[in-house]
Amino acid sequence: MAAERQKVQEQDKIERRSNFEPVENNLTPEQVKLEASRCLNCKNPRCVQGCPVNIQIPDFIKALKEDNLEEAGRIIRETSMLPSVCGRVCPQERQCEGNCILGIKGQAVAIGALERYVGDNTKAEAPEIKPSGKKVAVIGSGCAGITAAADLRKAGHEVVVFEALHKLGGVLRYGIPPFRLPRTILDREITNLKSMGVDFKTNVIVGKSITLKQLKEDGFDAIFICSGAGLPKMMRIPGENLNGVFSANEFLTRVNLMGAGRENCATPLKIGKKAAIIGGGNVAMDAARTAVRVGFEEVSILYRRTEKELPARLEEIRHAKEEGVKFKFLHAPVEILEKDGYVDGMKFEIMELGEPDASGRRRPVGTGEYVTEDVDTVIVALGTGPNPIIQRSAQSEGLEIITDSKGYIEVDPENRSTNIPCIYAGGDVAPVGESNAINAMGAGKKAAKAINELLK
């Protein structure tokens, strides 16, 4: 057994501040063998139980121990079409690695790094497809949509994926920066789906360009809605409409998808000197680290709880700190200050922690003390909600999709069915549990399984 968990090499923390190249490299083949040797091959693999798509982790690691890389790739892709993606962006510390026996008294097996290595160095085998004569529409090309499309196509159905934007990938492309998820990796995974015969249509907004009723009339036997949650949640404080205030969703989309902040960009982004990022999740880290790279001189994350309560991955927090992002805790936004229509500072109330709230974290309580921060740009990373376009369009056609009080589509958690026959939903538009890439993939697999059973 290797004495210590193997570590990936990382790009120099100073150099990476000015580029969008991947921060982390893959393990070397020698490191892969050493890390794989740490796995205990448990009879009751808790790591598998912690994976929302049930990748047979000990089996693929055993194949690595035996120098059978292709077999490791085959095992992973039995349940996951996105190993290179999941190995980079999944919260392994709360899922597979968080359940690893070795992690109880030491360091868990680096399952994410091993999965990424396998994904990057193996190819998906083209499955033999027997046409079923059935047709399924998938609305959205993010994690849930890609996963469902793959499973549905393997079952022989004709699959058409409708994407509202001009490029495929959903939040994987517009939300996650390329220094975390290289675009070549994402493009390769989508190419694999195309080679299986999945049809992709971009620039189609379901609910505007075409409706659910029209899809049914066009012969689709089932519909899977996985359009994401692209509606930003804002702070609702004075000054929020000033120039220089962005939602993290807009900021990241403009940089990741449209190239804003770079030379000769058709839709340039005004780069200030000091940026304040409001929030403490992975999106806040992505926004802060992106702000560093596009040229802000000072970037700060302001969070109303303490560092202990930060919901972001520990790795992302560490990377942000290494890249010069400042953290200011127990700061709750009160007002954005103005000068000539632009941001000219921000006022915060200093908080203290009280009793735990519904999330299980201690609730921030105001102290009555206020401070003003010198900033010229504010990026709000407080989460997103579901865009209601599809639901409203369906309602106008007599298809009353039931939603909860926040606008999320209500589904059966086991099969992702909605209240309307043959219509399913998953991913961020109908979340069950934590909102992340691997849970969205799990939703896609459940929906695909249910649709397959329906169409049989």
Residue that is last in its domain, among 69, 94, 121? 121
Give the model's pLDDT for residue 345. Answer: 98
Residue whose C-alpha is closest to residue 36's, from 117, 93, 92: 117
Backbone angles phi, psi at 236, to 5 degrees: 60, 55
Instruction: For residues 172 and 187, state if they share a domain.
Output: yes
Q: How far apart are CA 25 and CA 16, in angstroms?
A: 13
CATH number of the domain that 371 lies in? 3.50.50.60
- Decide: 445 and 152 in contact? Cβ < 8 Å: no
For 86-127, the three-class secondary structure string (H helix, E strand, C coil) is: HHHHCCHHHCCHHHCCHHHHCCCCCHHHHHHHHHHHCCCCCC
Give the model's pLDDT for residue 218. Answer: 97
C-alpha distances out from residue 155 to 133, 194, 196, Å = 11, 15, 11
- Decide: 71 and 120 in contact? Cβ < 8 Å: no
Per DSSP bridges, beta strands 222-225 and 423-425 are parallel
Instruction: For residues 52 and 184, state if they share a domain.
Output: no
Residue that is last in its domain, among 324, 355, 384? 384
Give the model's pLDDT for residue 335. Answer: 98
pLDDT digits (tens, 9 = 90+) for 316-348: 999 999 999 999 999 999 999 999 999 999 999
Q: How far apart are CA 145 and CA 159, in angstroms?
A: 11
Instruction: For residues 251 and 312, state if they share a domain.
Output: yes
- Structure pTM? 0.93
pLDDT digits (tens, 9 = 90+) for 346-364: 999 999 999 988 878 899 9
Overall residue count recorded for the chain in this entry: 456
Backbone angles phi, psi at 184, to 5 degrees: -65, -35
Backbone angles phi, psi at 118, to 5 degrees: -65, -45
DSSP 3-state of 417? strand
Q: How far apart are CA 217 and CA 211, in angstroms?
A: 10
| Summary mean pLDDT of the chain | 95
Residue that is last in its domain, among 80, 95, 121? 121
Domain that residue 320 falls in: 232-384
Instruction: For residues 141 and 179, state if they share a domain.
Output: yes
DSSP letters along 352-370, please? EEEEE-TTSSEEEEEEEEE
